[in-house]
Structure 1
């Protein structure tokens, strides 16, 4: 497994946290989605990004009713300017991944506006 380690205090790029727990990534819940292919595509994009993107997985992020969930975390610079993570629900197809990757390429939260279709898929984080 490839892991990207960022030293403490270093500037961090945008990162994607991909839920792959109880509901997200489960073929029983969403049988028409290539869950493994999605994750492979995101990891491939990170590997070819020159360090501008990191992809991690989480066991469960919480909003199971909106599976598959991807959290787009802003870069260090964007976070310093007040940007916060964006939670994306129903990330089930290539069009959604295209939008997420295009947004990250443009700078992500706090730097660029998300594509309009992606903005419609934004959800509140748990506990909000």
Structure 2
């Protein structure tokens, strides 16, 4: 897995976000086992402590759970995953509207652009 990390955000936060996207997109399903700390740190070329911190954060957010000696697994709680999906979608939409407003677009303009994009089928 090749990832280009952003210098503006802690790497562990970016790892958390990568795993959240994998969960929300269905790439990782409820009950799936995550890569080992060592395995993921090798594939991402980051310190194992960084991966461990990311896994701890995911567990704190109740998106994963650890079974001693077995590994770390994605939560089986579908409501939690649905909630995460909605939260991530809302964050993207809020960012989009903020940026569009800063460019001078009004709500009606934004709506027309989005509708046109959907109707055109370029999504």
TM-score scaled by length of structure 1: 0.24
- Ranked by relative contact order (alpha carbons within 8 Å, sequence separation 6 or more), the top structure is 1
Between structure 1 and structure 2, the one with the greater Rg is: 2
Which structure shows the bigger proportion of residues in helix conformation?
2
Which structure shows the bigger proportion of residues in strand conformation?
1
TM-score scaled by length of structure 2: 0.25
